[in-house]
Amino acid sequence: MNHTKSGDSRHPFPFHAIEGKGTYLIFNFIDISLFKVDPNTYELFSQLIEGRTIEDLLSKNSYDEMQGIFRIINHESSGALKSQFSQECCLALDKLVLNVSNTCNLHCKYCYAAGGTYGEDRAFMDKHTATAAINYFYNIFDKINIIQFFGGEPFLNPKIIEHVCSHALDVAGKVPKFSIVSNGTIISPAIIQILSEYDIRATISIDGPKYINDQLRGKGTSGRIFRNISCLKKNNIDVSVESTFTGYHLNNGIKVSDLMKFFYKKFDIRFAHMPSVAASQEDDLHLDQSDLLNIYSEAMEYSLDSLSSDDYKVDSYTLRLIMALIQKNSIGLYCPAGVTSLSVSTKGDIYPCFMFIGKKEFRLGNVLEEKIDLSQLSYVSNLLKRVNKWTDCECSNCWAISLCFGCLGGDYLTTGSTDGRPNCNFMRQFLENFLLKFAESINDPVVLSRMISICQ
Ligand code: SF4
Ligand code: SF4
């Protein structure tokens, strides 16, 4: 029999049972609904998940004992806060990343891009290529939500940033949002003027306090970055920070939650993105799966606990999951590469993501050429097939399908393939920890109302 009216043809019984510290949960991974249950209901539900039928259970348990089960499988998702994004009818690209500088003034220890060059020649994107890139993508897409400047260090090429913003505003009927990811060491009055004029959101890379950051990003960088972040904030530029969390942090007793406290205290920044380093096992900076689980679970618990106070801070992974649960929106893609996001190299080569720049097998075409090579397009699509969890055989059988996420570029760098799944076990355990903590946290009305407000 079909156990439930939730689910779809591939997931006729889309439930996962989670138990921890005396809490029993049933998670509907199609509806994104979470139920706290008593131990008896949990036990019976676990048997259903393992394949027993309702009739089986009814033959050994009373109708009253089964009430909790019926409540869950008959639950209708309200979907009240569901995002309206999917109702857009135009062809939109979420993010276009322009690598405007193939060179960098720093030499960070963990740089995956060979000092910003991606293994190519040091170069800046020129005006002709930048214009062609904007025209190329506005010929294909009705709308581009974000145009992001990237490098190397993009502020080494400020004239092209200015040109792209001005040209995109001329070409686009609807104004895109602009953003930039920078190492934060080169800020001048002229750069502040460009950021301000085009309302460019700046994400500054910084790995923590001076004794950590200087080790990873170069001696003397911290002072400059700290001063520049303060200067950007003083000039009302929208600033966020991004840290690469490494084995060096761990060996020096620094947790992700310590970085969150540091950024809040020093720059008044509540939301920070702190992904783990993409480094192979042989690398000193590498973090193994159990480290990752401890580090990010602790940051997640710290984030959810902090929501009960006015000086709350939330890491980006936890924020993403709060949004999925509160808005009842599944995280559809493993990562955006090549589906909702595309990148262009300084030479105009198109890649699914900046992390693949310089890797010829991932090159999709060039903005200076008119035609796309369809056989290459289909070859790259095949390399990226894991991005769409909903058409992937292994993901189809995994309860984490609606909440997990990862970085295909990072997987490629650490395993040499886009087929490996180096983080799936970490992700499933992390999600179980998150759901247990989330179920506890939403009992506090202050926390719940803050969650709703940060999702809006
Ligand atoms: S955890 Fe791994 S197998 Fe499971 S849905 Fe996510 S990517 Fe797929
Ligand atoms: S490969 Fe990594 S950096 Fe690139 S789009 Fe995917 S998640 Fe983002």
pLDDT digits (tens, 9 = 90+) for 276-300: 998 888 899 999 999 999 999 999 9
Q: Residue 21 has what pLDDT? A: 87
Share of the chain above pLDDT 90, in %: 80
**For 223-234, what is the mean pLDDT?**
97
pLDDT digits (tens, 9 = 90+) for 367-391: 999 777 888 989 999 999 999 999 9
Any atom of ligand 2 within 6 Å of the Cβ of 384: no
Residue 5: band (very low, low, confident or very high) from pLDDT cuts 50, 70, 90: very low
Q: Which ligand is nearest to the CA of 421?
A: 1
Q: Residue 372 has what pLDDT? A: 77
Any atom of ligand 2 within 6 Å of the Cβ of 357: no
Q: Residue 81 has what pLDDT? A: 38
Confidence (pTM)? 0.91
Q: Residue 176 has what pLDDT? A: 87
Any atom of ligand 1 within 6 Å of the Cβ of 56: no
Q: Residue 246 has what pLDDT? A: 97
Q: Which ligand is nearest to the CA of 403?
A: 1
Which among 335, 404, 405 is the best mutation to test ligand 2's pocket, defined by most ligand atoms within 8 Å of the CB?
A: 335
User: Atom 1 of ligand 2 has which residue's CA nearest to it?
Assistant: 409
Q: Which ligand is nearest to the CA of 341?
A: 2
- Ligand 2 midpoint to CA 331 (Å): 14
Q: Residue 83 has what pLDDT? A: 39
pLDDT digits (tens, 9 = 90+) for 109-125: 999 898 889 999 999 99
Q: Residue 175 has what pLDDT? A: 76
- Ligand 1 midpoint to CA 83 (Å): 23
- Ligand 1 midpoint to CA 193 (Å): 44
pLDDT tops 50 at residue 335: yes
HEC per residue, the chain = CCCCCCCCCCCCCCEEEEEECCEEEEEECCCCEEEECCHHHHHHHHHHHCCCCHHHHHHHCCCHHHHHHHHHHCCCCCCCCCCCHHHCCCCEEEEEEEECECCCCCCCCCCCCCCCCCCCCCCECCHHHHHHHHHHHHHHCCEEEEEEEECCCHHHCHHHHHHHHHHHHHHCCCCCEEEEEECCCCCCHHHHHHHHHCCEEEEEECCCCHHHHHHHHCCCHHHHHHHHHHHHHHCCCCEEEECCECHHHHHCCCCHHHHHHHHHHHHCCCEEECCECCCCCCCCCCCCHHHHHHHHHHHHHHHHHHCCCCCCCEEHHHHHHHHHHHHCCCCCECCCECCCEEEECCCCEEECCHHHCCCHHHCCEECCCCCCCHHHHHHHHHHCHHHEHHHCHHHHCCHHHHCCCCCHHHHHHHHCCCCCCCCHHHHHHHHHHHHHHHHHHCCCHHHHHHHHHHCC
Which among 415, 421, 426, 429 is the best mutation to test ligand 1's pocket, defined by most ligand atoms within 8 Å of the CB?
A: 421
